[in-house]
């Protein structure tokens, strides 16, 4: 029976006489005025990107032959780059307005459908701005919603970037919101709470089992200014607890991202073998050296610490200013030490209505070259995500994630806030005319 069915199948295919036209995806050629490929240090002028299906087939000089009847997208007046990668996002946050109840209201008042609708909108916003890949570092009480949003994108139900999901994140008792409620109340938490290495490993297993691509761990929580005027942050997990998580995640060939501001918590994150430090506001010289030795990634998320400060005469206002002051120094040290830096924003912590690419201006403002900043959001991030050569680069074999801007981002990095063309997985999502 099976043999017969197979034979019929072949007969039908060949009888149509159009086997090739039906099986090989159509070719699209993008004509790029200037091409920044995400990996090379110099841009190239007048290039052709051959796209077949969801991948780049080849890149050729502008004079190369284009087969007749090929769809050509003319971006000869634009700078063309790989789709951008934001390595620190929260699609399940909405820049919660404190006046409307802030973070707590998101968990206490918003049901899962409302939150999913907002996350759907966040994904569309990211794609519109040319971010074709996100490492989304925890759902803030929305469980495994990120894995399901990723599924909805993959099946074509909603538009959105390629997602790397961290699911619920892990912290300890006293180490995450919601807090400040009557102790009699059993309040929900924005992260999965563990105490002890056994619970830590179990939480990692649960999250990996439910589809986590990364594990996110909060290694510091509250922060304040001490009597000497120093920034202090409260440590959460012990080295033993973190080691259990890292050991488990690495066994699954997954990585661990550690939120860590400074001090004891940041040191434990490094001693526990984390793969990426998130924020890293204040990093000592010894810690910079340890990161270089261990190959730890640094995702600084600068911009979010330079806006929305509390009033100068308040405790929160003083803390906000102290955080920003040390952050700039740490970033410059990391640059000088040639640490592996990736672009990350914490968007969601800031409203999705704001430009994601604002982080570029902060990185360049603190001394990173525009090309290095672009690579932090393309090829460098793809390395961290174990996707080298597949995303974050315009090269044969890579996914066809292609964006374009008017103007030269190497002269004015701000033009990346105005992405006019977006192709994701070979499909054009946005193509605005040049003004
Ligand atoms: Zn974050």
pLDDT digits (tens, 9 = 90+) for 174-186: 999 999 999 999 9
Cβ contact 281:260 at 8 Å:
no
Q: Report d(CA 373, CA 363) in Å as an integer.
A: 7
What pLDDT is recorded for position 24? 80
Closest CA to 282 of 247, 313, 321, 324: 324
Task: Compute, in angstroms, the gap from residue 88 CA to the centroid of ligand 1.
Answer: 6
Task: Compute, in angstroms, the gap from residue 48 CA to the centroid of ligand 1.
Answer: 38
Element (H, E) at 81: strand 71-82
Task: Compute, in angstroms, the gap from residue 147 CA to the centroid of ligand 1.
Answer: 17
- The mean per-residue pLDDT over the stretch 195-217 comes to 98
Task: Compute, in angstroms, the gap from residue 138 CA to the centroid of ligand 1.
Answer: 8
Residues measured by CB to lie within 5 Å of ligand 1, the ion: 346
What pLDDT is recorded for position 22? 58
Span 23-71, pLDDT tens digits: 789 999 999 999 999 999 999 999 999 999 999 999 999 999 999 999 9
| DSSP for residue 168 | T
Cα-Cα-Cα-Cα dihedral sign, residues 175, 179, 184, 188: negative
Task: Compute, in angstroms, the gap from residue 25 CA to the centroid of ligand 1.
Answer: 39
- The 3 state secondary structure assigned to 3-63 is HHHHHHHHHHHHHHCCHHHHHCCCEEEEEEEEECCCCCCCCEEEEEEEEECCEEEEEEECC
Task: Compute, in angstroms, the gap from residue 353 CA to the centroid of ligand 1.
Answer: 17
Task: Compute, in angstroms, the gap from residue 51 CA to the centroid of ligand 1.
Answer: 35
Task: Compute, in angstroms, the gap from residue 76 CA to the centroid of ligand 1.
Answer: 37
**If you search the block for the tokens 């570092």, which residue do you land on?**
137
Task: Compute, in angstroms, the gap from residue 225 CA to the centroid of ligand 1.
Answer: 21
**If you search the block for the tokens 């004891």, which residue do you land on?**
264
Task: Compute, in angstroms, the gap from residue 301 CA to the centroid of ligand 1.
Answer: 8
Closest CA to 334 of 301, 371, 382: 301
Show the CA angle centred on residue 266, arms to residues 263 and 272, nearest 5°.
135
Cβ contact 33:46 at 8 Å:
yes
What pLDDT is recorded for position 17? 43
Task: Compute, in angstroms, the gap from residue 92 CA to the centroid of ligand 1.
Answer: 11
Task: Compute, in angstroms, the gap from residue 42 CA to the centroid of ligand 1.
Answer: 32
Q: Across all residues in the chain, what is the average pLDDT?
A: 94
Task: Compute, in angstroms, the gap from residue 367 CA to the centroid of ligand 1.
Answer: 23
| Helix ranges restricted to H, 346-389 | 358-365, 370-376, 379-384
Instruction: Label residue 122 by pLDDT band (50, 70, 90).
Output: very high
Span 245-279, pLDDT tens digits: 999 999 999 999 999 999 999 999 999 999 999 99
- The mean per-residue pLDDT over the stretch 203-214 comes to 98
By the 10 Å C-beta count (0-12 exposed, 13-18 middle, 19+ buried), 22 is classed as exposed
**3-state SS, residue 282:** coil
Cβ contact 356:126 at 8 Å:
yes
Task: Locate the DSSP E strands across 109-169.
Answer: 131-136, 162-165
What pLDDT is recorded for position 308? 80
Instruction: Label residue 310 by pLDDT band (50, 70, 90).
Output: confident
- The mean per-residue pLDDT over the stretch 196-212 comes to 98
Task: Compute, in angstroms, the gap from residue 136 CA to the centroid of ligand 1.
Answer: 9
Q: Report d(CA 122, CA 106) in Å as an integer.
A: 15
What pLDDT is recorded for position 98? 87
- The yes-or-no verdict on residue 18 having pLDDT over 80 is no
Instruction: Label residue 434 by pLDDT band (50, 70, 90).
Output: confident
Q: Report d(CA 344, CA 310) in Å as an integer.
A: 23
């Amino acid at each position: 029976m099976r043999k017969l069915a197979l034979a019929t199948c072949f007969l039908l295919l060949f009888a149509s006489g159009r086997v090739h036209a039906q099986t090989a995806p159509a070719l699209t050629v993008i004509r790029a005025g200037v091409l920044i490929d995400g990996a090379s240090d110099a841009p190239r002028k007048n290039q052709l990107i051959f796209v077949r299906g969801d991948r780049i087939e080849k890149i050729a000089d502008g004079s190369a032959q284009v087969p007749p009847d090929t769809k050509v997208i003319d971006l000869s007046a634009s700078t063309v780059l790989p789709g951008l990668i934001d390595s620190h996002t929260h699609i399940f946050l909405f820049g919660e307005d404190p006046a409307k109840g802030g973070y707590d209201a998101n968990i206490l008042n918003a049901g899962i459908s409302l939150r999913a609708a907002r996350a759907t909108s966040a994904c569309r916003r990211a794609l519109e701005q040319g971010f074709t890949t996100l490492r989304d570092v925890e759902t803030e009480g929305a469980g495994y919603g990120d894995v399901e949003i990723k599924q909805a994108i993959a099946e074509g139900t909603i538009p959105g970037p390629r997602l790397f999901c961290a699911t619920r994140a892990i912290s300890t008792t006293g180490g995450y919101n919601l807090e400040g409620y009557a102790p009699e109340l059993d309040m929900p938490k924005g992260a999965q709470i563990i105490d002890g290495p056994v619970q830590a490993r179990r939480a990692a297993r649960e999250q990996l089992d439910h589809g986590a691509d990364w594990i996110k761990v909060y290694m510091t929580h509250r922060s304040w200014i001490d009597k000497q005027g120093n920034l202090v942050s409260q440590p959460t997990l012990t080295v033993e607890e973190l080691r259990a998580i890292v050991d488990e995640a690495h066994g699954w060939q997954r990585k661990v991202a550690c939120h860590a501001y400074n001090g004891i918590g940041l040191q434990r994150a490094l001693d526990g073998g984390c793969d990426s430090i998130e924020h890293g506001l204040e990093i000592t010289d010894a810690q910079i050296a340890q990161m270089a030795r261990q190959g730890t990634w640094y995702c600084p998320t600068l911009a979010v610490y330079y806006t929305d400060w509390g009033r100068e005469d308040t405790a929160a206002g003083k803390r906000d200013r102290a955080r920003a002051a040390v952050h700039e120094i740490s970033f410059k040290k990391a640059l000088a030490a040639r640490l592996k830096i990736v672009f990350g924003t914490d968007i969601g912590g800031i409203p999705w209505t704001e430009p994601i690419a604002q982080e570029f201006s902060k990185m360049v403002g603190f001394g990173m070259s525009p090309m290095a900043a672009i690579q932090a959001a393309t090829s460098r991030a793809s390395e961290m995500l174990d996707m080298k050569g597949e995303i974050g680069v315009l090269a044969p074999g890579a996914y066809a994630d292609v964006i374009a801007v008017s103007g030269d981002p190497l002269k004015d990095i701000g033009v990346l806030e105005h992405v006019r063309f977006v192709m994701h997985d070979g499909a054009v999502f946005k193509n605005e005319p040049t003004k």
